Amino acid sequence: MIHFNRFTLENGLRVIVHEDNTTPMAVVNVLYDVGARDENPQQTGFAHLFEHLMFGGSVNIPEYDEPLQMAGGENNAFTTNDLTNYYIELPAENLETAFWLESDRMLSLAFSEKSLEVQRKVVTEEFKEHYINKPYGDVGHKLRALSYTSHPYRWQTIGKELSHIENAQLEDVKNFFFRHYRPINAILVVAGKVTTEQVKALAEKWFGDIPSGEKYVRSLPVEPPQKASNFLEVKAKVPLDALYKAYHIYPRNDQRYYAADLISDILSGGGSSRLHQVLVKEKKLFSNIDCYHFGSIDAGLLCIEGKLVKGVKMKDAEKGIQEELEKLQQNIIPERELQKVKNRVESMLAFEDMGLLSRANNLAFYELLGDAAFMNKEFENYERVTKEDIHREAQIIFNEKNSNTIHYYAGN
Site for other proteins, residues 200 to 219, rule: CB under 8 A: 205-206, 209
What SS3 class is residue 211? coil
- Given 91, 179, 295, 322, the residue binding other proteins (CB under 8 A): 91
In the complex with other proteins, the residue whose CB is nearer, 123 or 333, is: 123
- Given 15, 36, 90, 325, the residue binding other proteins (CB under 8 A): 90
Q: Which of 119-127, 139-147, 180-188, 365-373 is the region at the interface with other proteins (rule: CB under 8 A)? A: 119-127
Using the rule CB under 8 A, is 129 a contact of other proteins?
Answer: yes
In the complex with other proteins, the residue whose CB is nearer, 99 or 177, is: 99
Pairing of strands 286-293, 301-308: antiparallel
Closest CA to 198 of 5, 46, 348: 5
- Beta-carbon contacts of 55 under 8 Å, excluding residues fewer than 6 positions away, are 64, 65, 77
Q: Which of 115-123, 214-222, 313-321, 383-391 is the region at the interface with other proteins (rule: CB under 8 A)? A: 115-123
Using the rule CB under 8 A, is 351 a contact of other proteins?
Answer: yes
Q: How far is CA 198 from the centre of its chain?
A: 31
Q: How far is CA 189 from the centre of its chain?
A: 18
Using the rule CB under 8 A, is 383 a contact of other proteins?
Answer: no
Using the rule CB under 8 A, is 112 a contact of other proteins?
Answer: no
Q: Where are the beta strands (DSSP E) in 118-241?
A: 186-192, 230-236
Report whether 280 contacts 320 (CB < 8 A).
no
The half-sphere exposure of 16 on its side-chain side, counting CA atoms within 13 A, is 27
Give the x-and-dash track for 47-76 against other proteins (CB under 8 A).
Answer: ------------xxx---xxx-xxxxxx--
Pairing of strands 242-248, 25-32: unpaired
- Given 220, 222, 332, 350, the residue binding other proteins (CB under 8 A): 350
Count of residues near other proteins by CB under 8 A: 79
Q: Smallest distance, Å, CB 76 to other proteins?
A: 8
- Given 340, 359, 375, 385, the residue binding other proteins (CB under 8 A): 340
Report whether 192 contacts 27 (CB < 8 A).
yes
Using the rule CB under 8 A, is 96 a contact of other proteins?
Answer: yes
In the complex with other proteins, the residue whose CB is nearer, 33 or 324, is: 324
Using the rule CB under 8 A, is 222 a contact of other proteins?
Answer: no
Using the rule CB under 8 A, is 271 a contact of other proteins?
Answer: yes
Q: Smallest distance, Å, CB 100 to other proteins?
A: 5
Q: Order across the sheet with 242-248: list the strands.
A: 230-236, 403-410, 242-248, 301-308, 286-293
In the complex with other proteins, the residue whose CB is nearer, 73 or 159, is: 73
Name the strand (E) or helix (H) holding 307: strand 301-308
Which residues in the 276-315 window bind other proteins by CB under 8 A? 277, 280-281, 284, 287-288, 307, 309-310
In the complex with other proteins, the residue whose CB is nearer, 217 or 354, is: 354
Give the x-and-dash track for 224-263 against other proteins (CB under 8 A).
Answer: -------------xxxx-----------------------
- Residues 273, 379: Cα–Cα separation, whole Å: 21
Using the rule CB under 8 A, is 347 a contact of other proteins?
Answer: yes
- Given 346, 371, 383, 388, the residue binding other proteins (CB under 8 A): 346
In the complex with other proteins, the residue whose CB is nearer, 293 or 307, is: 307
- Beta-carbon contacts of 213 under 8 Å, excluding residues fewer than 6 positions away, are 11, 12, 178, 181, 182, 183, 184, 185
Q: Which of 91-99, 180-188, 385-393, 395-403 is the region at the interface with other proteins (rule: CB under 8 A)? A: 91-99
Q: Smallest distance, Å, CB 124 to other proteins?
A: 8
Phi, psi for residue 410 in degrees, rounded to 5: -75, 125
Closest CA to 252 of 113, 399, 374: 374
Which residues in the 17-36 window bind other proteins by CB under 8 A? 22-25
DSSP 258: H
Which residues in the 138-197 window bind other proteins by CB under 8 A? none
- Given 3, 227, 315, 336, the residue binding other proteins (CB under 8 A): 336
Residues in the chain: 412
- Residues 166, 43: Cα–Cα separation, whole Å: 10
Neighbours of 383 (CB within 10 A): 12
Neighbours of 48 (CB within 10 A): 25
What SS3 class is residue 88? strand
